[in-house]
Structure 1
Amino acid sequence: MTLFIQSGPAEVLRAVQKDQILFELIEKKISTLLIKIFGTVTWLRYRQLVHISSKFLYYTFTTLSGCQTLGEEYTNIIQVDLTLHQSPSFMQRLMLAILDACGFTFIDHSVSKLERRIFENTFLHEKFKCKFLQCLGIVKASLPFLIHFHHAVFYWDGTYYNIAKRLTGIKYILAKPWLFKERKLYGFKILAAITIINLLISSLHSTWKWYITNPEYYKKNIVTESKNSGKCSLCLDNRIFTCSTTCGHLYCWYCIFNWLETNNQCPVCRDIIEASRIVPLQNYN
């Protein structure tokens, strides 16, 4: 008879939500300090680094130090390896911190850099540029799908909420197993089924939309952007797929939508903007 009981999805989910609040609080404090000392432009240039460093700093003082995170302490769960009898090794915890803090950011940044390299390459034919950019666009669009699909798997089996924990083999057990009660997890399984159905419908719709409109969209934007030497205020590089906000400021398409995932204000004038109101400038010179 085992003395350790694996935690369920409810405890893990509450711990993740609690830790996310603390991530955002640390990031907000660092961002405020950076803006006050170096100004908004510097913060915009290094905001991704601030996001990564905030998470890694939190992991340094909790997971890497061999302690529970505040979310784990709040829900009385403890990190263990695949055997459920030993604490994860330092290398497992270090890989967890690195992957969770900057894994997807690194992939997204690398794909964006590759997009710019292909776009600026003067030796490639326009037709091949379109095809390469379409493929890279599929890769970037697949990242959120992968995250949501992994969450659906978590709702079904209740083991790994983060992909980083799945890759490093880190699970959770209850710190107080004597408080364990038999739980009905049908609600989470229903949520998993709904999430999968929603992902399938969204994927089919996105695929149909991409098949109908994307080739012409990329073709027009390659011609347009080759004539445009304007700088994006977010990445501080030449704009790619220029779009305009309702307040009239211009950004890269990917930059402004990445920004709107965590902010609803224009990075320049702080006017309230909505993702649905962003306008792609397909004939901008």
Structure 2
Amino acid sequence: MPFHQAGAAEILRSVQKDESFLSHLKSSIAKIVQRSSGTRTWLNIHQYSDVICELAYYSLTTLCLRQTLGEEYTGIIQVDHNRRRLPTQFERTVMVILQCFGPKVLQIGLKKFENSVRVGCFSTYLRPELKTFILQQIPTLQYSLTLVHRIHLAIFYFSSGFYHISKRMTGIKYVLIREWLGDNAASQSFRMLGIVLFLHIMLTLSYAAYTNFFVKPKSDDKKTVSSCYVDSRKQCPLCLEERCHSSVTPCGHLFCWQCIHESLQTLQQCPLCRHHVLPSQVVPLLNYD
């Protein structure tokens, strides 16, 4: 008798449980490194801590053909796209590599490309007009990656298939091994959430198209002209504008003072690396360019 496909509720609970364990693992490693080697050492390696923790966690679970703690908690198990067998070792390895390294590789690749266009090898071969045009399109490319993730999430809410893009690319699905743990009543609510997210994406794209093609910036409005491109080194990851009153978190990430404090009112974690952060730990940087 075939198992039933896991719903969005079970998959989300599993992901949240895994993220709570990973967050605890990362915070424990941060405390060990800071107490043994100092905060400076931790700031030098903290950008790689997420990848290291995730790779260790999934290597001891998924790659060993075991359930993660979240999957065991919700009673779901990974299967292939036909739901007839367990994923092969190759499929699981590719999925873990994409999930652990994919976002970081894209982020580093875009940053290296931007630096190459600005001051690197490409800058000497590009005309100034073309160089400016490419630099202006980089924020759009970065936002396009965010948009792809939102569309993927909306599809998940609507069809309850793949929560992670890495699982969609490798065709790894989830089935319930204890059907009595399934929450069928929540499927309709998740479909409504998917529809709302799709509408939000369409409205965002429509507004962006309207402002780009129909609203012409005034020639004397320097702020509007300069806002077409923001140097990524001066950009706030939350508002995507040039940082105002730059502030640093204990994990070393820079934000606008107002943006990071508004974010910490909802969740006391760094929006980039999920390191535990209290509002009192955010330090404003004076005379910082």
Shorter-chain TM-score category? 0.7 to 0.9
**Residue of structure 2 equivalent to 1:236:** none
State yes or no: 1:111 paired with 2:122: no
The offset of 1:12, in angstroms, is 0.7
**Residue of structure 2 equivalent to 1:235:** none
Which residue identity is paired with 2:245?
T
The offset of 1:207, in angstroms, is 5.0
Contact 1:264 1:272 in 2 (8 A): no
Which residue identity is paired with 1:113?
K
- 1:1-285 alignment, distance < 5 Å: 2-121=1-120, 122-123=123-124, 124-177=126-179, 183=185, 185-207=187-209, 216-217=225-226, 243-246=243-246, 256=255, 260-261=271-272, 262=274, 270-271=281-282
- Taking structure 1 as the reference length, what is the TM-score of the superposition? 0.75
Identity %: 26
Distance in 1, matches of 2:15 and 2:7, equals 13
Contact 1:35 1:43 in 2 (8 A): yes
Deviations along 1:228-247, whole A, 9 cap, x unmatched?
A: xxx99xxxxxxxx9745355
Which residue identity is paired with 2:64?
S
Shift of the 182–202 alpha-carbon distance from structure 1 to 2, 3 Å rule, reads closer
- Taking structure 2 as the reference length, what is the TM-score of the superposition? 0.74
Contact 2:9 2:187 in 1 (8 A): no
**Residue of structure 2 equivalent to 1:238:** none
Deviations along 1:164-204, whole A, 9 cap, x unmatched?
A: 11111111111123666864622111100111111222333
Shift of the 180–120 alpha-carbon distance from structure 1 to 2, 3 Å rule, reads closer
Distance in 1, matches of 2:183 and 2:205, equals 38
Shift of the 205–37 alpha-carbon distance from structure 1 to 2, 3 Å rule, reads farther
Deviations along 1:128-187, whole A, 9 cap, x unmatched?
A: 222111222211111221112111100111011111111111111111236668646221
RMSD of aligned C-alpha atoms? 3.5
Contact 1:9 1:158 in 2 (8 A): yes
Distance in 2, matches of 1:24 and 1:190, equals 30
Give the paired residue count.
Answer: 254
Gaps spanning 5+ residues in structure 1: where? 226-230, 233-240
Distance in 2, matches of 1:187 and 1:217, equals 43
**3-state SS of 1:79 partner:** strand
Distance in 2, matches of 1:9 and 1:75, equals 11
